[in-house]
Structure 1
Amino acid sequence: MDKRLLILFTLFIGLLPLSAQQIEVTGARKAVRTSGDIGAIALPVAGLAAVLIQQDWQGLKQGALAAVTTAGITYALKYSVRKERPDHSDHHSFPSMHTATSFAAAAFIQRRYGWQWGLPAYIVSTYVGWSRIYGKKHDGWDVLAGAAIGAGCSYIFTRPFARKHQLSLQPVAGDGYYGLYASMRF
């Protein structure tokens, strides 16, 4: 190859706009990406573990429906919208699958087993979403859409475990008193 052509080619590549080059992410950003990846896997595993420990086969069906629907919607949007990632690595940014998966699991856990388990799951899911932004894989809209898809699918398909036991909570008020009435069938 002619040296002049090689030099011109090298200069051309060096002058391309940043959007045509992949941004290298190193150090702390890679560590955050990895920890977010772990969180995105750990939450569905935790949901499955809860189902198996409780032998909650109805919950297994509901969680599976939510998971399949979340994945289907997310993949359909990724391949139809084709939004470029902030690190310019590909055109599958919208919506965030990591965030959709983790929020689907968190919403399933919260809806099925209550806020005492759901709140920590939502905190981990929020971290997963943040890690995708910090790691330059998604922007805020990608993460918000993923969270809405995941949580929405779980809320559609998941029924509270408390219904099996006919848990009932009702506010009570009268002359100068306020309270909460709770009952449950064992």
Structure 2
Amino acid sequence: MCNITIVPRSMCGFRVLVVLLFLSSSLTYGQVTPLTSSQNTHKIAGDVLRGAMPALALSSTFIWKDRQKGTYQFSKALAGTFALMYGLKLITNKERPNGENNNSFPSGHTSVAFASAAFVQKRYGWEFGIPAYLLAGYVGYTRIEANKHDSVDVLAGAAIGVGISYLFTKRYDEEKKLGISSGFIENTPIIGLTYKF
């Protein structure tokens, strides 16, 4: 367990994120049915985005400098997504469409991609959320195209990712640069303007 006096929360969350991503990649065993060139290209793109999307979502918290609150919120959202997703995989024990193993329901790649997209959208707005959701939708498509999941697995993964991210994420409100204040000094009404550089 991280000691907050020694390691900041953001580093603790980052370490948990790295461990969870490593564990999730170790649960795949190998492709049973050979993929076509097109399917393999989509599979590789989906695999890359599964790692890149959470990295970009986490990086966004440093770009906006939102005092580590976003980092902590994203770490909780991703950990919650992993916990629910792997719990459901163990309970349902659904066979993949390609017969590779019994980890089909829900789609982990899709869960992680949609958790990342939902975090970006809810935290920073739709102008960043729309491209993130498009990428997450493509990840879901790649999982169907690679014969790893069916549409039910992908839709469940998307719902889990969005739901858990919405549960833990709050909107980021940038500090106001211009402020107006009013009051009284010695029974004289005053109006003040402040501007933060």
TM-score by length of 1: 0.75
Q: Does residue 24 in structure 1 map to residue 34 in structure 2? A: yes
SS in 2 for 1:132: helix
1:79 to 90, 95, 101: 90
2:52 to 26, 36, 42: 42
Residue in structure 2 matched with residue 182 of structure 1 by the alignment: none
Matched residues in 2 for 1:165 and 1:53: separation? Answer: 15
**What letter corresponds to residue 133 of structure 1 in structure 2?**
I
1:52 to 33, 45, 62: 62
Alignment of 1:1-186 (within 5 A): 22-56=32-66, 57-162=68-173, 165=175
**What letter corresponds to residue 32 of structure 1 in structure 2?**
H
Deviation for aligned residue 1:165: 3.9
Matched residues in 1 for 2:129 and 2:82: separation? Answer: 21
Higher helix share: 1
Matched residues in 1 for 2:56 and 2:130: separation? Answer: 13
Check whether the contact 1:24–1:87 (CA below 8 A) recurs between aligned residues: no
Structure 1, unaligned runs of 5 or more: 1-20, 167-184
Render the CA deviation track for 1:16-50: whole Å, top value 9, x for unaligned: xxxxx932223110110000111111111111111
SS in 1 for 2:41: helix
SS in 2 for 1:121: helix
TM-score by length of 2: 0.71
Matched residues in 1 for 2:159 and 2:175: separation? Answer: 29
Matched residues in 2 for 1:136 and 1:102: separation? Answer: 18
Q: Which has the larger radius of gyration?
A: 1
Structure 1's consecutive aligned runs of 4 or more residues displaced over 4 angstroms after TM superposition are: none
Count of matched residue positions in the alignment of Structure 1 and Structure 2: 147
Name the Cα RMSD after superposition.
1.7
Matched residues in 2 for 1:125 and 1:84: separation? Answer: 23
**What letter corresponds to residue 40 of structure 2 in structure 1?**
K
Matched residues in 2 for 1:81 and 1:165: separation? Answer: 46
Matched residues in 1 for 2:175 and 2:133: separation? Answer: 25
What fraction of aligned residue pairs are identical, expressed as a percent?
42
Matched residues in 1 for 2:51 and 2:127: separation? Answer: 20
Matched residues in 2 for 1:124 and 1:78: separation? Answer: 24
Farther-moved stretch of structure 1 (26-35 vs 90-99): 26-35
Deviation for aligned residue 1:146: 0.3
